[in-house]
Structure formats: structure tokens, C-alpha cells
Chain A
Amino acid sequence: MEWAVAFGWGGRIAVVVMLAATVALAAWNVRTLASKRRRAALLGLRLATAAALGLVIAQPTWVSKVEHAGGRRVAVLVDASASMAQVSAGARRWDAAARAVTELARLHPVDVHTFGTRTEHVGALAGLQGVLPDQAHTDLVAALGSLVDTRGPRGIAAAVVISDGLDTEQLAVSGSGEAPPLDSAVTALIERLRVPVHAVFIGDRAPVRDVAVVAARAAPFGFTRTFMPLDVDIEVSGYGGRREALTVTVADNGRPVLTREVPLDGPPRRTVSFEFQPLHVGVHVIEATIAALPDEATAANNHAWAGLRVVRDRLRVLHLAGHPSWDTRFLRLHLRGSPAVDLVSFYVMVGQGAGAYVSADDTTLIPFPNREIFEESLTSFDLVIFQDFPLGPFQVEQYLPQLREYVVGGGAFLVVGGRQALAAGGYYGTPLAQWLPVRLASLAGDDVGYVDAATSLALTPAGQHHPVTALESGVDANAAAWTRRTLAGRNTALAAGEGGSVLVTDQGGHPVIAVGEVGEGRSAVIGTDSLWTWAFPPTAGSEARDETRTHYHRLLDQLTAWLLHDPDLDRVRIEVPVDPVDLGSAALVRVQVRGGDGAVLPNVLLRYGLAPLHEPQVEPAQWSPPLTTNEQGDADLRIQPPGAGLWLLTVEASIAGQPVRATAPLGVDASGRERARCIPDDRALAAVARAAGGKVWPWVPPRTGVPIATAELADGGERIHTDLWSHPAVLTVLVALLGAEWVLRRRWGLA
């Protein structure tokens, strides 16, 4: 409580001098009265009048800081995330937190909130009863923000966070060492609170034997076949001095792709860095796993996931040709027509017996860098093309295992035929023949593996609905377009292969274009070297020429896109969330259905189902009820996953009576990040307390209570100003004093 007056020290002195002069003048004025009693009465009245007048002039105000009913409260934020259900020092952390709240309530008036994924106000201590620590995230910054928004006009005296410190959001701390500095937004938020923020740290560092994957961290998007960093934060507890190694494995959509051994002994918090190469466009769920140790506390925290969206920046093509030809020339023109293509070509430029005419000094010939290509750089290419390319030169046959590994691992491989390719190129009986979509036969009799003859074409039933062969809109129009196309020759000794689909044949039913899946990759065969005649058509009419050229480019574009798993070519496209969804929440998925010509297809019947991602060959256990696409060809799905884990979502659309399927990964998180770390960590709590002028205590608050705000109150409404000079009684007293003095002076004969 304090006084306040209307003016400063100079004004106050002037008022005192004026009042003193008034009293002195009054004393001089009453000197003629004989009676001392009368002189004292008049002088007393004048003094009282002067005092009342001074009161009015000074305008004094009585300022009081009034505590409202119950006073300001201490806000208590109790961590209700799933990690608080774990046990530390023999007790459940949540129970320890409740005891800390009880102790605080004994020392301060408290206002209790729980926080985790969301912040909820429970009010009094009793409000904690019935609350379960099961929230999937810990977000202390969001909780402090909620406190700023909801503290009310009376403000709070302090905030106390009770937590094991395992924040999963902005304040998540990984690795070892100090917590990183708070960012400016968090600091500004703390300043807006204007009260100390303390913490009661629920936990200790008693060693338990456990290894955990705290997080798998990757950029939210990447580029196909471009290496990108992937950091896996691991936490090791209670294994000091052990010589075993941990095996950290990284899987891409359920397929193991990288592994690394790290010593068990070492710092408790470590980051294992990988370089990861996504192969396909689309959503990838990257899972990092530590092989469980036999004596660790729990294996539930031995894995973590990261979502990643992969796009294609450039198309890198390795083009090997057996000789320069018009077919290589026009394919080269086609590929070079796109600025997004990095084309690395090697042609066999000289024939046998050319040595007398060709020397390295006179020509620009270079040796074929087979080792650099097949041993070191093969995986950097999106597409490998053998165009009329025999296996004999350059000892390519010895690199077929690498080529197979590339294709099986997700690569794209195209064989363009000719007199030196396929059976004519010595492919028969080699490992390469095993992953082609056609079956090769040995050459018999006069068969040289190629026949020069005008060849009419026809679509097979598979080709009628395949996106690669969709040259025109509509099944009939497309089939008619293919019957108008001819070739000048084709490879022989080809037949439909297991696992492959023959899309186009000649009139005799011999395969001309075929595609197939090879492990994670795809391969295709174009059994002719005269496809270039479409790009440079011999037909006379300009309209027909243009249509044929268009078909040449469209066929190659679509074949390339199919080989590369380009989702733009998928007739059923699925957009799934990149990040894993929380268990219990619905996954919002959009499905779009298009025809072979890219036009949207409304009113298409759909169904979908989930199967474990690690067993992709398994059919969904249960299919959804049928639903249909809207006028835009879309269908929005709300999928309730049956449990946590990685799922493969399969959507099946019925297009022209044919089932067409598409799949996409779907991660479902059951507090995975919450359970990933089992060792409480006070670093984030300490950082917040330090920034907010607070302190951190382990387990319980101090017996004397937590320091509260003593400076300016949180809200202006707490200060009460009472104006004493403007009270009516002051004026009444002043008038009464002046009137009494006037009456007495008249009675006693003074002027």
C-alpha cells in the first residue's frame, strides 16, 4: 500500500509555504484579541481550514494492491503423456507427479492443467483423479501457450511443470550434451507469461538396460536415386563396458535397404548417420530398427519411423547401343528432347577389322568405362537401355549380377531389339534372359534372330488396358490406332515369359512389346529396331505423319513412366499422409481414378483393405464395403487402421470390368515417440526454467514452496487507486470550518 499525490516535490513545498503563510497571517490578525482561548480557537480553525485546503490542492490518492479472493494461483502443468506411465525408481511416474501436485497444493493455491498432445484444465487437485497418462505426444510449448491464453485477468503467481522431460515436439532433445537454445518464438512466449516457470523433474538416471531408437530423422522430401542423409538417434542405457554391437537397420516401405553395426559401449545418446537412396516417386515410410538385445527392458522402443515424400528432379538414363543407327538416333532425339534428362550414352562405334583405318590418335573413340558404370555408378541411373546391344563386347556378361541386383532392387531396364539384341545378341542362356518379360529361344536353322519384313501389329488383351499402350482415348480407338501402325522388322525366337505381360504382337502372335516386374524393379522389351520409322514416318499424308510421330513419343514416354513407377501413369492414384497417423485417429486418404488417356473416371466402384507392410504378398484380411468415385474421379477415404504398425493400403478399382489395383504405405503410430525413450531427461525442462527465471527440483517441490512473481503484477487491474481529496466530506468540513471561523470572527468583533 502506498500514497500518491498530484504533483512533485516543488509543488508540495509551494503548498506548504502557502499554507504556512496563511496560518502566520491568521496569527498576526488575531493578535488584538485579549482572550487566549479565542485566539487559539480562531488560529485552530484557520489551521484546520488550511489543512483541508492543502488536502484538496494536493489531491492525494491511496493506492492499494488488493489480493483478490484466494490470491493469485500457481499454475501447475502435469505431463499426461504416455511416457509418464513408465516406471522410474520403483514407482509409476504419473503417481510421482500426483504426489508433487499434492505437495504444491499444500503450499500454494494451485490451478492444475494436464498436457501432452493437448492441454486440458482440470482445476483443483481432485481433477487429476481419473486422468490417464496416455497421450501420444508431449508438447510443453503448446501447454505454455495455452497457459498464456487462459490465465485470466487476475494472472498467475508462477507456473510449475511436472514432467519426465521427454518432449516429443519443439523441445525434443536428441543426442547428448546440453539442450539446444530455445528458439525466439519460445522465448517470446515465456516472456509473455511474466512469471517464473519452475519444473519438478519426475525421474532419475538410474541405469536400466535398454536400447531405443529415439527418432529417425530425414528431410520431409527427397529426390529419386539421389542420396540423402538419414539420422537415427539411439539411446543406450545400462550397457557400459559391454563389447557387443548393435545392429541398426533401415527399411524403406518394409524392405531392408541399409544396415550398420555400432558398438554397444559408448555415449548413452548417439546418432547413427546413413545415406539413403529412395528409388521411386511417392510416399516412403522409413523405419529404423535396432535388433533387440536379450536382456533389455523392452523392445517396444526399438524402432522409429519417418515419413518421406519422394519426387523426381531429373531422369538419369544410361543408354548403351550396339551401333549407331536411325533407331538410336531417334531415341536419342526423344530423350534429349526433355531438359530434365541426363543422358549418358555409349555406342559401339567401330566394327571388327577396322584397326587398319582407325587409331586412337586419329579418332575421338574412348574406352568403355565398364567398371565405373557397372560397379560404381549403376544405381545412380533411373533407367538403363540396351539398344541392339550385344553382350559380347566390353565383357558386359561378367557384370550381369550387378545389373540384376540393380533391376531387382528397383531399377528400370529396357531392351530395344535389332540384329544384335535378344536371341541374336547372345542373350539366350544368360542370367539376363531370366529377368526379361519374354522367354528367349535358341536360334535354330536359318533363324538369325531377326526378320526383315513389314509387320502389322495388334494389341493383346493385356495391352488393351495397359497404360503403356494407350496411344488413343478409348479402347476401340486405341486398338484401331495400333492396327494402323507397322514396323519394318522384328526379333524372332521370343515367346511370352513367366511373370511378363505381352502387350503387342505381330499378326502371327509373336511378342513385339512386353513388360514385366522383376523384384522391386521393372523391365521391358521392344522387339524391333524399326520403331524409329514412327518418328520419321514414311507415310505421305502430313496428318498421318503427325499422328504417328505423336504415337512414337507417347509410347516411349508411357513406357519410361511405367518402368520408373511414375505415379502419374497409375490409373488408380493414392494420396496417403506422409507422417504416420496416431493410433485411434482416422487416416485421410484420397483416391483418384483415371483412364488410360489420363481422363478422370467418375462412378468407378472401389474397395480398399490393409495388410501388414512387411508381408506385401498378403491379401488384405478384410475389404471395405464398395464405394464409388465422384464426378471428378476422386474418392476420399477415412480409414481407421486396426492397429499400430506399418500397413500396405491396397485400393482396387473396377475399370471397364477389369480390377486395377494400387498400393501405398500407411504408418500408424501408437505413441511410438513417447515410448521410444525410457530415460527421463531434464534438459528441456532446465532450458525452459532457465529462460523463465525458474528452477528445477527432482521429484518434489521445495518444502518452502516455489518462488512466485514479486515484481509488477501480471495484470493492471490488481492496483486500486482511492482518491481521498474528492470525497464530499472533505468539502463539507472545509465549508464548515470557513463558516465557523466567519461566525466567530463576527461575534468577537474581528473583520
Chain B
Amino acid sequence: MSCPRPRHTDFRIWRWAWLVGLLSAGAWPGGARAAEPLSGGVHIAVLRVGSAGPDVASAVASWAQELRLRTSIEVVAAAPSVRPDEPALFAYPLLYWAGDRAAPALTDLAVVQLRHHLATGGSLIIDNTGRAEASQAFDQSVRRELLRVFPQSLQRVPANHVLFRSFYRLDRAVGRRADTHDAEGVRVGDHYAVIYTRNDLAGALLRLPLGGFALPVVPGGEAQREHAMRFAINTVVYALCLDYKDDHTHVMHLLRHRRSTRAPVTPVTNAP
């Protein structure tokens, strides 16, 4: 639905105040820190597997800002970080694993927890943040560890999948780089619980303290950056809404079908 949210929620006022406060204090993008999950707020929790680099949390905060500006999703700006073998993993259904180098092997407990997390409704977005090109070492680490978590390997997400129209209409999955136009994923049930992009999504989102973007986008420049942002938004909307947009191809049919079965009978007006 495209209508704006209501005016009478105080929460929205708080939201704008939050944004203004961050800008004025130069507090974002800040470092990764733990946060208590809010019942209704959506966190993008950074999955700590080895070293993710200091910029990841800042990129996530920028990502959250874009989500709040463009969608109705109540995203929490602070990016908590969590290890896969921590009990706190289950406080955050949406995980973000970024890396530009080889990642250490997951512990057995981490594998079990991650499997349970993703199998029971969690989502994992993996981002290869190699600067000049996708990090082969990280790529190999990801594929190796995912095979420990799930028996099936990463598969290309079809271009007609709802991921590419969960919010924006997209025809490719690019980031700061556009090495490939595809995204990969691991299906759990009838949805992708893991989305993997090799195009450095975080790099396209990362901002300087004063608000400008930190890294150039190649080869498409700012148009590609906007495309990357849209893909980043689609991934979160997909994690929250799943195949909701697929429903809409059937909604009018369902509504019309119901109408067609009705006969022009007169309801009793004095019925209790």
C-alpha cells in the first residue's frame, strides 16, 4: 500500500528527532555495539565471524536510514553485533555478514545455532566487501561454512524472483561494484533464508561523518549507487514480507472471485 502512515503516532516524531540528533552530534555511523532488541523495531545485526572491519556498522546505520526514509519499516539505526555461537543470536532474526578476507571456520555450536536460526525464520544477508574486486578468500569461506550449515549449496536467485520486486522493481543486484548482476541464495522451505551478493553492498551505502558517500561506485556512478540502495532495501523488505508481493498478483482475482458468487439478494435490514 502506498499511503502514508498516520499523523497521530508520536513515534514518528521521535524518529525524525532521532535522525536530526545523529546528524548534529556526528554520531553516525558509529561502531558496532550490542543493543537490546525492541519488540517492534527491526535490527540489522552484524554477524561477527572473524573481523568485519570498522566500516560495516556505519554502513548498516546508513542502510537503516535509507530504509526509514523510504519505507514504513521501523528500523533501529544502531547496528548490534553478535557472534553466531552466542545465545543472543536469537534476539535478531535479520543478520548481516560482511567480509573482505578469509573468515575463520565456524564453531560447531555456531553451525548448530545458525542452522536453527535460519530454519526457524531467521534471515542472513552476506556481502562480499572486497574493495577492488570480490574477495575470493571470503567467497570460499562463505561457501565452505554454508555447506556446514545447510546441505545445499548457494544457488542463483532467478531474475523474476520476488526479491527483485519486494519494494523496488529491479533487474539486477549491484553494489558498489557490479562484478555480477546476480544474487545467490539458500532456500529454506519456500523462501530464501540466505541472500549473498558479491558486489560490496556496504561500500555503496557507507557515508562519511558529514553525510557524503565514502566510496565511489564503479562503473555506474551515482545511478548504480541508487540501484545498490534499492537492492539493499529490497533484501530487508523481502526478509520481512517474504512473498507478500506475489500475493498481490492474486488479490484482485480473489476479491473478484468472491464477488462473482454473490447473488443480488436483499439483506434483512432489521437483523440483529
Which residues on A are within 8 Å of B, measured CB to CB?
226-227, 249, 255-260, 273-275, 316, 322-330, 332-333, 336, 342-354, 357-358, 360, 362-369, 372-373, 376-377, 380, 388, 390-394, 408-409, 418-420, 424-426, 448, 450, 452, 487-489, 519-520, 528-530, 533, 535-540, 542, 545, 549
Contacts and interface: CB of A to CB of B under 8 A. Distances in A.
B244 A345 contact: yes
B268 A258 contact: yes
B167 A533 contact: no
Contacts of A536: 90, 93, 120-122
A325 B240 contact: yes
A714 B231 CA distance: 90
Best-surrounded residue of B7, B10, B72 (most CB of chain A within 10 A)? B72
Nearest to A225: B258
Contacts of B154: none
Contacts of B239: 329
Contacts of A418: 40
Contact of A390 (B9, B93, B166, B271): B9
Contact of B73 (A324, A377, A380, A520): A324
B70 A489 contact: no
B93 A324 contact: no
A347 B1 contact: yes
A348 B40 contact: no
B262 interface: yes
Interface string B244-271: 1101100110110011011101111011
Contacts, number: 235
B116 to A, nearest CB: 7
Given A226-B261, A420-B5, A333 B268 contact: no
A204 to B, nearest CB: 37
A728 B265 CA distance: 90
A377 B272 CA distance: 21
A488 B37 contact: yes
Contacts of B245: 364
Contact of B116 (A274, A329, A420, A545): A545
A325 B11 contact: no
Interface of B: 1-12, 37-40, 42, 68-74, 87-88, 90-91, 93, 116, 120-122, 165-169, 230, 237, 239-242, 244-245, 247-248, 251-252, 254-255, 258-259, 261-263, 265-268, 270-272
11 contacts: A324-B71, A328-B241, A350-B3, A352-B12, A354-B69, A362-B168, A368-B1, A373-B255, A376-B255, A536-B90, A536-B120
B232 to A, nearest CB: 13
A209 to B, nearest CB: 26
A329 B241 CA distance: 6
A426 B272 contact: no
B70 A258 contact: no
A540 B112 CA distance: 12
A368 B73 contact: no
A256 B4 contact: no
Given A329-B241, A345-B247, A538-B87, 18 more contacts: A255-B271, A258-B268, A259-B268, A327-B40, A344-B251, A348-B3, A350-B70, A352-B4, A354-B70, A364-B245, A376-B259, A377-B259, A388-B40, A418-B40, A420-B6, A424-B9, A426-B6, A535-B120
Contacts of A316: 258
> Which 5 pairs from chain A and chain B are nearest by CB?
A392-B6, A530-B39, A275-B263, A488-B39, A380-B258
Contact of B1 (A257, A326, A367, A529): A367
A538 B10 CA distance: 28
Residue among B39, B244, B263 having the largest count of chain A Cβ atoms under 10 Å: B39
Contacts of A542: 116
B261 A227 contact: yes
Contacts of B244: 324, 332, 345, 347
Contacts of A420: 5-6, 9, 11
Nearest to A323: B72
A249 B91 CA distance: 57
